[in-house]
Amino acid sequence: MKRQYYDNIPSPCFVQEENKLISNLEILKYVRENAQVQILVALKGYAFWHSFPLIKKYLDGASASSLFEAKLIYEEMGVKAHTYCPAYLKDDFEEIANISKHLTFNSLSQWEQFKNSVKSSVSCGLRINPEYSEIDVPIYNPAVQGSRLGMVKAMIPDILPEGIEGLLFHVMCEQDSYVLERVLQKVKEKFHKQLIQVNWLNMGGGHWITDKNYDVNHLINLLNKFHLEYPHLQLILEPGEAIGLGTGFLLSTVQDIVENNGIKTAILDVSFSAHMPDTLEMPYKPNVRDASTDAANSQFKYRLGGISCLAGDYMSEYGFEAPLQIGDQIIFEDMIHYTMVKTTLFNGVKHPSIGVLNKEGEFELLREIPYEYYKYRLS
Ligand SMILES: Cc1ncc(COP(=O)(O)O)c(C=O)c1O
């Protein structure tokens, strides 16, 4: 039995399924409309810019964390970004300020450095750190002790500097509104004095709003309750992952099958290190279509091996219903958010093409990544 799902899609290829994106956007729109909250897409988590015109119909814009992200938002969504950088660079600042409508500063010293270069049309804010987070993985936790991200209560004056109009916090990752409720409680306890002086509060990302278990109505009630307490505040959420969650896959193909001491590895034309770095960084085991991530009870077990030379570029065994063969397609699910954004050209391995299965289910090839792109990044 040959595993062949698509005969018109080149391998490897990141493929967005437009209908799934629309389903996510409908959920986010429902929240926006019922909770008086602005929702932005955070480019660090989702930058599939072919879909920006569609996203613009549903959301309130986008958030950037660098000049390049702000430029992509301006060029492809046609709006000015809500921008936050851990540190703005002197050489970039004027350009970034020209294409941003909100600028959030990570420290008072950054604010002091740049406050005189900001035009009055830009609304400025400070990032606060409530020193509370329920994220277990330290590398993803901006509230760890000694974090460089945001100002803790002891660092922020009771009376905010003139010109500061907003606050931003970001301390969540793939979490629900019950976590947000506890975070908001801490934010109120620590920053009430500042909250009453500003006119917007950006609650960052990490809101897994489009996950099937997310209690959307609890979020709406929570935000509406918060709004009653602080009616002067424009509330903002800037999820990245929730936009692209479950909206597409990475198609790959088995190139060879090797066996060493009873361990069979199917070597693919993709790399975990270069094309799915989160799988090794977090780490997590991605779902593969029609395969079990738990191979314990499977007759046909295979490691999936990357095409780079890194020894650890593989995923431990998956269970399949039948033996794998060279030429079989292996589909990694849910690869359109952080995965795509974080790819590299490590080892010079071919970068996956990029395409979309449109609303009608027809495949459109959007981009192939040529050798020149690899060469250009080196010298
Ligand atoms: C400041 C800020 N906003 C938004 C996000 C997006 O988070 P997520 O993609 O988890 O929703 C991040 C992620 O790191 C962030 O640092």
Q: In the listed set 244, 275, 304, which residue is the last one of a domain according to the structure?
A: 244
Percentage with pLDDT > 90 across the chain? 99
Model confidence pLDDT, tens digit, residues 38-84: 999 999 999 999 999 999 999 999 999 999 999 999 999 999 999 99
| Ligand 1 atom nearest residue 84's Cα | 1
Please indicate, yes or no, if residue 142 is contained in any of the structural domains. yes
269 and 226 within one domain: no
Q: How far is the CA of 22 from the centre of ligand 1 (A)?
A: 21
Given ligand 1 and candidates 238, 278, 334, which is best to mutate, with the most ligand atoms within 8 Å of its CB?
A: 238
Name which residue sits closest to atom 7 of ligand 1, judged by CA.
205
What's the confidence (pLDDT) of residue 2?
82
Binned at pLDDT 50, 70 and 90, residue 259 comes out as very high
* Gap between the Cα atoms of 85 and 72, Å rounded: 16
Residue 120, C-beta contacts closer than 8 angstroms, at least 6 positions apart: none
157 and 46 within one domain: yes
Question: Containing domain of residue 327, as a range?
Answer: 247-376
Q: How far is the CA of 203 from the centre of ligand 1 (A)?
A: 10
Q: How many residues does the chain have?
A: 379
Q: Is the CB of 173 under 6 A from ligand 1?
A: yes
Please indicate, yes or no, if residue 72 is contained in any of the structural domains. yes
Percentage with pLDDT > 70 across the chain? 100
283 and 223 within one domain: no
Residue 35: HSE in the Cβ half-sphere, 13 Å Cα cutoff: 23
Query: Which CATH number characterizes residue 164's domain?
Result: 3.20.20.10
Please indicate, yes or no, if residue 22 is contained in any of the structural domains. no
203 and 143 within one domain: yes
Cβ neighbours of 191 (radius 10 Å) = 21
pTM of the model: 0.96
| Ligand 1 atom nearest residue 207's Cα | 11
What's the confidence (pLDDT) of residue 119?
92
Q: In the listed set 244, 277, 303, which residue is the last one of a domain according to the structure?
A: 244
264 and 240 within one domain: no
- Mean local confidence (pLDDT), 6-25: 98
Q: How far is the CA of 290 from the centre of ligand 1 (A)?
A: 31
Cβ neighbours of 201 (radius 10 Å) = 23
Q: Structurally, how many domains does the chain consist of?
A: 2
